[in-house]
């Protein structure tokens, strides 16, 4: 276990996860004879389901995110400026590839990884995207499917954030249907022991700053999809370009780009040895999607907390705080309920994953549901801010814009509905 993950968090950061808030309602609880006070920040006491180690990891992640990421996010979002140092900072704390055993990774549970993700996305979904791509997509791919030599060469530096990784699956003409990809790997015509990769990937998180790209391409000789580790430093000029995609309307605190390969030489030892077809990329995506199920609940909890504070402070009609009106309270109640249910569901699936008892359909269910609820509730909570919602200082508009894309990428709701529908009926829907 990575030692820095146990660093104690300051008391104010622990309160949301550990300590019931001693409010009027808690006093009422004891008067009414209930042993447990209701804590609006953890209504169904999810923290009871976590080990001491998992809670310590969550505290470390929350302290880092609130103290180091939150102060940077407005500037990063306004200027589409991702600070590369963030990966190194996360690496120092053991937050990258945290559920991987060995190679300098923390070897924590899937639940702990989910809690880290939740804390990062509480600040911003773009920061979570940058971390997920490094951890769940690039590192998990290498850990699950790489040779021993690939793992030894790349995982320790990826874990420290010294190397930045990305995951290239989506193409300009093939998003939801990656099986139709056009990127191809063929024997290099000149360089012995090399493949030559040609094709374009788009919407790739971290690609402009990546040292190592996990690229999925069809091997020309078999027509099967294979994974290739493309090292930027070993690509001759003119064979690899990774231009950024600027002017995004969401996830602006993350960096997104293309991977353009033109007869790019990749050593044969950089291909994953065994995995073929979509099993490789889908295994990685499943890991990322479970993270998103936790992360989206972090973003929703932040929206709830900010809307609650605003509703208590803002007075309209006879000096009453907005929080005194029933329609406002319903919005807060709906959001708190969905955040609590979603956190419990994601925790259950993560526990099952640690026990080897999960299925991809479970991940589809929690990714789909939690993204849907986070987006719906954040939009409704945004109404509480009235015209002030237009100011980015309130953070709510940024979460809403981000959550729309988070619901859409890495398996849209429609695609997860198809996966679940097939599992429920046994019939493949017409696509």
Ligand X SMILES: Cc1cc2nc3c(=O)[nH]c(=O)nc-3n(C[C@H](O)[C@H](O)[C@H](O)COP(=O)(O)OP(=O)(O)OC[C@H]3O[C@@H](n4cnc5c(N)ncnc54)[C@H](O)[C@@H]3O)c2cc1C
Residues designated catalytic: 410
For position 76 contacting ligand X by CB under 6 A, the verdict is: no
CB of 409 to ligand X, least distance (A): 4
**Residues 393 to 412 in contact with ligand X, rule: CB under 6 A:** 405, 409-410, 412
CB of 177 to ligand X, least distance (A): 6
Spatial contact of 218 and 183, defined as CB atoms under 8 Å apart:
yes
For position 169 contacting ligand X by CB under 6 A, the verdict is: yes
Other Cβ atoms less than 10 A from the Cβ of 117: the count is 29
Give the DSSP H or E segment for 312: helix 279-313
Distances (CA, A) of 398 to 248, 351, 394: 12, 31, 9
Cα–chain center distance at 267: 31
CB of 405 to ligand X, least distance (A): 5
Nearest CB to ligand X, comparing residues 94 and 168: 168
Nearest CB to ligand X, comparing residues 195 and 203: 203
For position 175 contacting ligand X by CB under 6 A, the verdict is: yes
CB of 354 to ligand X, least distance (A): 25
CB of 53 to ligand X, least distance (A): 30
CB of 256 to ligand X, least distance (A): 5
**Residues 117 to 136 in contact with ligand X, rule: CB under 6 A:** 133
Cα 186 from Cα 193, distance rounded (Å): 11
Nearest CB to ligand X, comparing residues 204 and 297: 204
Token pair recorded at residue 419: 């996966």
**Residues 179 to 208 in contact with ligand X, rule: CB under 6 A:** 203-205
Closest-CB residue for ligand X? Answer: 175
CB of 335 to ligand X, least distance (A): 24
Taking CB under 6 A as the rule, which mask of x and - marks residues 329-368 in contact with ligand X?
A: ----------------------------------------
Spatial contact of 64 and 101, defined as CB atoms under 8 Å apart:
no
Among residues 170, 296, 370, 377, which is the contact residue for ligand X, using CB under 6 A? 170
For position 142 contacting ligand X by CB under 6 A, the verdict is: no
How many residues bind ligand X, per CB under 6 A?
A: 20
Token pair recorded at residue 260: 């353009």
The dihedrals phi and psi of 53, each to the nearest 5 degrees, come to -65, -45
Distances (CA, A) of 121 to 14, 107, 254: 17, 21, 12
Taking CB under 6 A as the rule, which mask of x and - marks residues 248-267 in contact with ligand X?
A: ---x----x-----------
Describe the chain by its helix, strand, coil percentages, rounded to 5. 55, 15, 30
**Residues 83 to 112 in contact with ligand X, rule: CB under 6 A:** none
* Burial environment of residue 349 by CB neighbours within 10 A (0 to 12, 13 to 18, 19 or more): buried
**Closest-CA residue to 249 (of 44, 398, 70, 52):** 398
Among residues 20, 168, 265, 295, which is the contact residue for ligand X, using CB under 6 A? 168
Parallel, antiparallel, or unpaired: how do β-strands 194-205 and 184-187 relate? antiparallel
N- to C-terminal Cα distance for the chain?
Answer: 45
For position 167 contacting ligand X by CB under 6 A, the verdict is: yes
The dihedrals phi and psi of 266, each to the nearest 5 degrees, come to -130, 125
Cα 230 from Cα 239, distance rounded (Å): 11
Residues that bind ligand X (CB under 6 A): 133, 166-170, 175-176, 203-205, 251, 256, 405, 409-410, 412, 414-415, 431
């Amino acid at each position: 276990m990575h030692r820095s993950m146990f660093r104690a968090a300051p008391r104010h950061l622990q309160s949301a996860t550990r300590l019931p808030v001693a409010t009027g309602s808690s006093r009422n609880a004891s008067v009414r004879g209930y042993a447990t006070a209701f804590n609006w920040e953890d209504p169904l006491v999810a923290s009871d389901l976590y080990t001491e180690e998992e809670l310590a990891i969550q505290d470390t992640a929350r302290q880092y995110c609130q103290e180091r990421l939150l102060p940077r996010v407005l500037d990063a979002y306004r200027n589409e400026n991702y600070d590369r140092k963030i990966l190194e900072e996360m690496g120092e704390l053991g937050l990258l590839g945290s559920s991987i055993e060995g190679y300098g990774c923390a070897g924590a549970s899937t639940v702990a990884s989910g809690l880290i993700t939740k804390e990062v996305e509480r600040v911003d979904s773009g920061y979570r995207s940058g971390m997920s791509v490094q951890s769940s997509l690039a590192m998990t791919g290498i850990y699950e499917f790489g040779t021993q030599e690939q793992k030894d060469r790349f995982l320790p530096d990826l874990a420290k954030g010294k190397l930045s990784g990305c995951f290239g699956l989506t193409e300009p003409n093939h998003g939801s249907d990656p099986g139709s990809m056009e990127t191809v790997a063929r024997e290099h015509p000149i360089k012995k022991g090399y493949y030559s990769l040609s094709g374009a990937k788009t919407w790739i998180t971290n690609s402009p700053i990546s040292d190592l790209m996990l690229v999925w391409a069809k091997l020309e000789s078999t027509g099967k999809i294979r994974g290739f580790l493309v090292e930027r430093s070993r690509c001759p000029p003119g064979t690899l370009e990774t231009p950024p995609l600027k002017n995004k309307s969401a996830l602006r605190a993350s960096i997104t780009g293309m991977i353009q390969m033109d007869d790019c030489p990749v050593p044969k030892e950089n291909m994953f040895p065994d995995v073929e077809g979509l099993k490789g990329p889908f295994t990685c995506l499943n890991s990322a999607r479970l993270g998103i199920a936790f992360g989206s609940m972090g973003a929703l909890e932040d929206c709830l907390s900010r809307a609650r504070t605003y509703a208590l402070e803002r007075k309209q009609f006879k000096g009453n705080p907005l929080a005194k009106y029933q329609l406002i309270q319903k919005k807060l109640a709906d959001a708190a309920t969905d955040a609590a249910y979603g956190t419990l569901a994601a925790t259950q699936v993560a526990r099952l994953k640690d026990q080897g008892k999960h299925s991809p359909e479970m991940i589809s269910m929690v990714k789909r549901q939690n993204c849907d609820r986070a987006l719906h509730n954040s939009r409704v909570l945004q109404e509480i801010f009235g015209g002030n919602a237009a100011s980015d200082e309130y953070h709510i508009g940024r979460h809403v814009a981000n959550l729309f894309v988070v619901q859409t990428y890495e398996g849209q709701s429609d695609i997860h509905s198809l996966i679940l529908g097939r599992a429920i009926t046994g019939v493949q829907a017409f696509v």
